[in-house]
Structures are given as C-alpha cells and as structure tokens.
Chains A and B, each alone.
Chain A
C-alpha cells in the first residue's frame, strides 16, 4: 500500500513546478453537484473537465463543485468564471460537451453558445 512518505518526493516535484509558474489568477469551472446534478451525470462531466484540462496540460483553471444552482431541469450545469469576472452558464452537459468547452472556450476563448443556458431557454 502507498505510504505518506511518498509525499515528500511529490512535494519536491510540486515545489519545482510552482517556482516556474507564477501564481496567476485562475479561471474557475464550477459544476453543480447536488442531487439533481449528480443524478443527471454531473460527476462524469466534472471528470471530463479535469481529464481534458490535464491532457492539455492546462493548470490555469480550477474545477470545483457547488450545490444546487436552482434550475434542475437543465442539469448537469457548469459555470465558467473567467478571471475578469465574466460568467458563462452551460446546461444539459455531458462528457463530450465538457471536452468541447475546454477546447473552444478555455483554449480558444470562444464560448460554445449552443450549450449555454441562453440557447437552451429559447
């Protein structure tokens, strides 16, 4: 079984990388993770965000979870909150859509309009 001693090596590795990167202000992706979100598949969506960001070696984004956003019929929901405070709410997500949001919104800076709550409410 793994031991807590291994953490010492990991700590040093992490410290080296932190020294290279500046502690920038981070973009946040917040996934709704209440009963409604979880039942609709929010866990897979959050996993997809984390995996896609890791795959692309993007460290400037924090993925976290929150409770019920209040529009359960649109779950799974995620909000992308940029460093300038700009917020985009994406609805009815799945893993594939999450990966596209990383590619188009996070990497290329173009929100995916068709997945937004604005598009869904039309």
Chain B
C-alpha cells in the first residue's frame, strides 16, 4: 500500500464485511520521539480464536473468491518495516480492534496520504454505519461523529453533495490542525 490512508480503507472494508454498524478510526501522535498510532475498531462479528491466530498469514482469508488475504499482513508489514508494532484483538460477536504504530521520524514510515478524502469515501459509501473519527496530537484534538452529523441534518441525506463537501472540509481541516507540524507531509497552512 502506498500510504496509510489506503491501509485504513482496506482494513475498514474488513469491518464493513464483518457487518459492523459502528467503526471507529483513531490516529494519534504521542511521545518523544513521536509515534503515530492508528487504531481501527469495529463492533462486527469478530473472529474465532484459531482464525485470529492465523489472520496475519497471507494465506488466511474469509473471502471465498480465492485463498489469499493481504489486507492485514500488508498493514503489519508496513508498521514493522518502519520499526512500529502491529496488534489485533478480536472477540466473536463483539468486534475487532486493529492497531499499528509508526515511529514518525522513520524513513521507512508510509506517508499519511489523503486521509480526509479516503474517510469521506468510506462514509459516503456506507452512511448507515456510525463512523467515529478521532485525530489527536499532544497539543490538538479533533473528533468527528457521523451520528452527531446525522442528528444535525434531521433527515437530509449524508450523500447530499453539500453535506459531503462539509464533511470533507471538516475532516481535512481537523487533520491539518492536529498533524500540521507533527507529520512532515502535512502542510499546516489552512
């Protein structure tokens, strides 16, 4: 995967496939030297312990079209190549939580990529899911809850063009204000 946003997109597809109706994505940068932590958690159907044990193996998958599943192994590889750590927790009928850390200054860290566009794409494709997005650095915090947006919209669709524009702007402003100056690839100017 070329950037972190694509990893997130990929892992979130697993959550959608697991019939989650709540998916939380959090990106936090903490510590000195800073470490970027990505956590994707869902309340989907979860995995059996024996499947969970094998899930970072590329030849483990729940899909029926072919016997290869690369989403989780690729994220694990990206994190570990940069000197970070990958972990996964899952409980049947409760959900799954995947986390990966990336030392911010590692030359092998994948860039963040276009996080706002990617998140909007997922939200617009699955507006029925209660998406919760959180960005945090040591000095800034940003939270976005699709349920709150839905409440404010009182029946107007999330897929409306103006609403999508607002979501995109909100997410990209939030991302810039939290990670500008923290991640080199993020331009702080609004």
Q: Hey, which bits of chain A sit against chain B, CB under 8 A?
A: 1-2, 4-8, 10-11, 13-15, 18, 33-36, 38-39, 43, 46-47, 50, 54, 59, 62-65, 67-68, 70, 72
- List 16 A–B pairs whose Cβ atoms lie within 8 Å, in order of A's numbering: A2-B166, A4-B148, A4-B149, A13-B162, A18-B156, A34-B63, A38-B9, A39-B1, A39-B70, A43-B6, A43-B118, A43-B121, A64-B124, A67-B13, A67-B17, A68-B63
**Interfacial chain A residues near B65, Cβ < 8 Å:** 68, 70
Residue in B closest to A57 when the chains form the complex, CB atoms: B161
Q: Which residue of A5, A13, A43 is within 8 Å of B9 (Cβ)?
A: A43
What's the minimum C-beta distance from B166 to chain A, rounded to whole angstroms? 5
**Interfacial chain B residues near A5, Cβ < 8 Å:** 152
Residue B93 is within 8 A (CB to CB) of chain A in the complex: no
- Is there contact, CB below 8 Å, between B152 and A67? no
- The interface residues of chain B, by DSSP majority, are classed as helix
What's the minimum C-beta distance from A18 to chain B, rounded to whole angstroms? 8
Stretch of B30-38, B83-91, B102-110, B168-176 lying at the A interface: B168-176
**Interfacial chain A residues near B5, Cβ < 8 Å:** 43
Complex Cα gap A5–B152 (Å): 8
Complex Cα gap A65–B65 (Å): 17
Q: Which residue of B69, B70, B71, B163 is within 8 Å of A14 (Cβ)?
A: B163
- Is there contact, CB below 8 Å, between B156 and A11? yes
**Interfacial chain A residues near B163, Cβ < 8 Å:** 7, 10-11, 14
Residue in B closest to A15 when the chains form the complex, CB atoms: B156
Given A14-B162, A68-B63, 14 additional A-B pairs, CB 8 A:
A2-B169, A8-B152, A10-B163, A11-B153, A11-B154, A14-B163, A33-B9, A33-B125, A34-B71, A39-B70, A43-B118, A62-B159, A64-B124, A67-B17
Residue B10 is within 8 A (CB to CB) of chain A in the complex: yes
* Chain B 133-190 interface residues, beta-carbon cutoff 8 Å to A: 142, 148-149, 152-154, 156-157, 159-163, 166, 169-170, 173-174, 177
- Is there contact, CB below 8 Å, between B10 and A34? yes
Complex Cα gap A46–B9 (Å): 13
**Interfacial chain B residues near A59, Cβ < 8 Å:** 161
